Amino acid sequence: MANQILIEPSKGWLRINFRELFEYRELILYLGWRDIAAQYKQAFFGLAWAVVRPIFSVAVYTLIFGKVAKLSSSGIPYPLFTLCGVVAWSFFSSSLSQSTMSLLGNTNLLTKVYFPRLVIPLASLGRGTIDFVVSFVMLLILMGAYRSLPGKEIVFLPVFLFMGLALTLGIGLFCSALSARYHDLKHAIPFFSQMWFWVTPVAYGLENIPNRFAWVFYLNPMTWIVQGFRWCLLGVGEMNWEKTLISGLFSVLVLTGGLLYFRKMESEFADFI
Amino acid sequence: MKNDNTVIRVENLSKRYTLGQLHTNSFRDRVSCLFKKDRSQKERRKIWALRDVSFEVKQGEVLGIIGRNGAGKSTLLKILSRITRPTNGTAQINGRVGSLLEVGTGFHPELTGRENIYLNGAILGMRQTEVSRKFDDIVTFAEIEKFLDTPVKRYSSGMYVRLAFSVAAHLEPEILLVDEVLAVGDASFQKKCLSKMGEVSVQGRTVLFVSHNLAAIRHLCNQAILLEAGKVESRGDPEDIIARYLQSDSTDYAVQKINDSGSPFRFTKFWVEDQQGNVIKTTSTGKKTSFVLQYESETKIESLSIAMGVFDLYGCRVTHVSMLDRNMEINSSVKGQVKCVFEKLPFTAGRYVITLGAYSYGLPVVIQRHAVGFAVNDDDYFGEGAVKGGLRLGPVMVNHEWIWEEVSLSK
């Protein structure tokens, strides 16, 4: 027979069944869509929120850091400069908060139905993807308005997209599994994400950071993803390939670790959650 | 697999749970536990929900699984549905498995009926094309044609359950695992579901069916297993197994501990008292009987009312008693004991199970299906020393009188 299922006790670090995950691709899309649809149906302005949020952030950063603090933005108009950072950052932060809550928010599914557990954190990336797409389109419009055309560097954009995705998913997997096991983590993660924001050059350029604090930014892989986005799309600065490569490797490592950890924990979800 | 005909083979399946697991969900507890000197928290009690369970199911068999609360029925289905893993032992399944441990899992109140059909279909493992193909059947079966594009939060509870069951009923797995889902909906819909389940078995599919509804087991299954304390007590013809289940009087009906519901409000203990207030294991028809229930809550419950649904072992609801019927509510309570007194117990001989419900302002806080039980012996209900008692075919005795008069045929 075609489908043979063997059920046995879990044995530590298990292999990930990517083929099975692929079989469940429709469920990933449906769950992602459910979260988005339900969220925006409840809101009066619906999807408009996805547009309002980046506009608001960019306005605040431009006003505070550009106009009041008069920080430099590498010769690029300040709104364009920060919006590009917001595009890269919004996917990360919104996916992080969604995936942290993903398992806890789907307790009934976990305890009543079988499917590869990875489906849940993967589906939780839906919100982040919408936020990303909307703010990316806004960035393209703004680039058009400022007559700022991307150079040939844009061919490297997929590299940075992949880095961002790997890092986000990796950390998201850790957060979702950990918060399912230790419920109080869901309070800590938004705070942690807030701190992370301030050590990433989203609202201000890296050149404004005093040397003695620069190392924090250098160690942060998100720094090189945001810098990469600006380099690809706006042609800002020189690319630091060495540091980018290191954070790229680090992102892949986080993703692998996240997958393995999630896989190890997933057999317990139904019993603990 | 040795035999081609065997679709499920379970070998020495065991599952151990650690009691109190539910309450160590915070990181702080975990850390403080590490530093505790007496380590008492670390040595929490372990229980075996299943112990060395082995059996085989052949293609086309409809196997009923019966047993008391905590016998391991649900754990067994959870392992076979791959929701949780066994501690020891293995199970091999040949074929596409569909499991139905609850109807309407993943339904989202904000989404419309149409959207929820697709979503729930995907959750149950159906492809989009499959759902599209069966869409009209699902809608017709659920009788919700007019409300397809209404968010399900506006559905009546009956419509909601019908839609949920309808999606599940159109799943076409080779092996179907069902847990007590027929206990929902109104009587006519339950009948419809039962006949749908009957169809499934006629089509040669294999079904594993857990239920407290012995009538359904008798009606649908051609094999049955009796689970007792995590072990297979016996297996065979449903009629024999049901008889065994009804005979085996191993349940301790003295003071019953109630399983943790996992919610902040918990029913803790239940027992039956006679007229003098003694705890008794069995009561008798017509005698003054009190059902005593203790509860505790982590938060204060306002306008608390408690209700009990009494079911016979065939799954039929015999009666439902609620504090609300007697205009009674408890205010700002965190811990307490309620006593429900029957001046003259109407139930006839046999065993009954009780579903417990706690409500705040009339809205459910906790519903615990078949949480406790009690046993009744036959006795003289009317206290008139009727030597040749009636057949006692119904589950309740009702106060009544007989009047006879002679009538001439011409009248």
Q: What pLDDT digit, counting tens, does each position of B160-178 carry?
A: 888 888 888 888 888 888 8
Ranges A13-22, B27-36, B70-79, B244-253: which has the least confidence: B27-36
Q: Which residues of B touch A179 (CB under 8 A)?
A: none
Q: How far B351 CA sits from the closest chain A CA (Å)?
A: 30
pLDDT of res. B235: 93
Give me the residues of B, 392-411, that contact A with CB < 8 A: none
pLDDT of res. A140: 94
Contact B288, B277 (CB under 8 A): no
- How does the average pLDDT of chain B come out, rounded? 83
Q: Which pTM does this prediction carry?
A: 0.75
Dihedral (CA of A166, A172, A175, A180) sign: negative
Q: Which residues of B touch A27 (CB under 8 A)?
A: 122-123
CB contact under 8 A, B86 and A184: no
Q: How far A28 CA sits from the closest chain B CA (Å)?
A: 9
pLDDT of res. B288: 92
The helices-and-strands tally (H runs, E runs) of chain B is 8, 19
Q: How many CA atoms lie within 13 A of A73 on its CB side?
A: 24
Amino acid, res. B50: L
- % of residues, chain B, pLDDT over 90: 28
Contact A81, A73 (CB under 8 A): yes
CB contact under 8 A, A111 and B99: no
CA neighbor of B124 nearest in space, from A120, A109, A268, A2: A109
Alpha-carbon Rg for chain B in angstroms: 24
Give me the residues of B, 45-104, that contact A with CB < 8 A: 78-97, 99, 101-102
Residue range B373-390: average pLDDT? Answer: 76
Q: What is the CA B277 to chain-centroid distance, rounded?
A: 30
Residue B227 pairs with which residues in a beta bridge?
B67, B232
Dihedral pair phi/psi, residue A91, rounded to 5°: -60, -45
Residue range A237-244: average pLDDT? Answer: 82
Q: How many CA atoms lie within 13 A of A3 on its CB side?
A: 14
Alpha-carbon Rg for chain A in angstroms: 20
CA neighbor of B181 nearest in space, from B122, B76, B242, B105: B105
Chain B interface disruption, residue of A8, A44, A100, A263, most B CBs within 10 A: A8
| pLDDT at A52 exceeding the cut of 70 | yes
CA distances from A162 to A84, A157, A229 (A): 16, 9, 11
How does B276-305 read in b/e, with b if 16+ C-beta sit within 10 Å?
eeeebeebbbbbebbbbbbbebeeebeebb
Burial class (CB in 10 A: 0-12, 13-18, 19+), A19: exposed
CA neighbor of A201 nearest in space, from A229, A170, A165, A163: A229
Give me the residues of A, 89-108, that contact B with CB < 8 A: 106, 108
Among A4, A41, A184, beta carbon nearest to B28: A184
Give me the residues of B, 103-162, that contact A with CB < 8 A: 105-106, 108, 110-111, 115, 118-119, 122-125, 127-128, 151
Amino acid, res. B214: L
Q: How many CA atoms lie within 13 A of A212 on its CB side?
A: 0
Q: Which residues of B touch A1 (CB under 8 A)?
A: 94-95
Q: Which residues of A touch B81 (CB under 8 A)?
A: 113-114
* DSSP-derived 3-state class of residue A101: helix
Residue range B310-322: average pLDDT? Answer: 86
